[in-house]
Amino acid sequence: MSDHEGTQAGQLPIELILLRQVASYLDLPVFLVDTEGRLVYFNEPAEPLLGLRFDEVGELSMVDWLAAFRPADVDGGALATDAVPLVVALREARACHAVLTISGLDGVRRAIATTAVPIRGQGGLLGAVALFWSAP
C-alpha cells in the first residue's frame, strides 16, 4: 500500500495535486492515477463519457476502475490489462495511444480515443494521466 493510497488529494505528491488542478480547467476529459494505479481524479468533461461525476465515484483501485469501465477493443473483445493505455503508461513508463471502448458507469458502452503518459517528479514516477475523447 502506498503512503497516500485511499487519501484525499491534499496528501498526494504536489505534482499530482497541481496536475489535478490543471485538469479541472481543461475542456478535454482527463483521468489521473497514482503510482499504484489508483484513480485519484477525473475532471468534469470526463463525466459524460464515464457516466458519473467524480464526486459520486471517488478514488478507485486499478482493479476496481478496470472492472467498472471494462476497457475493450473496438470490436468489443476484452482488452488485456497490460494493453490498456493508462496501464502501459504506468507500468512501462512510456506514452501509449489507442482507440477502444469503455462501459460508462451509466451502463452505456462508448468508443474513445485515449493517449496516456507517465507523470514523473523529482522522486521518480508519480503516476499517469490519460487524455481521452469520443471516437467516431
**pLDDT tens-digit series, residues 43-62:** 999 999 999 999 999 999 99
Nearest to 125 by CA among 1, 11, 16, 18: 16
Cα 49 versus chain centre, distance: 12
**pTM greater than the 0.85 cutoff:** yes
**Three-class DSSP category at 65:** helix
**pLDDT tens-digit series, residues 68-113:** 999 999 999 999 999 999 999 999 999 999 999 999 999 999 999 9
Work out the pLDDT band at 2, boundaries 50, 70, 90. very low
Locus of grid cell 485538469: 23
pLDDT reported for residue 16: 94
Q: CA 86, 95, 30 angle in degrees (round to 5)? A: 50
Q: Alpha-carbon distance 20 to 28, whole Å?
A: 13
Q: Alpha-carbon distance 32 to 47, whole Å?
A: 13
CATH fourth-level superfamily of 9-134: PAS domain (3.30.450.20)
Q: Alpha-carbon distance 93 to 87, whole Å?
A: 9
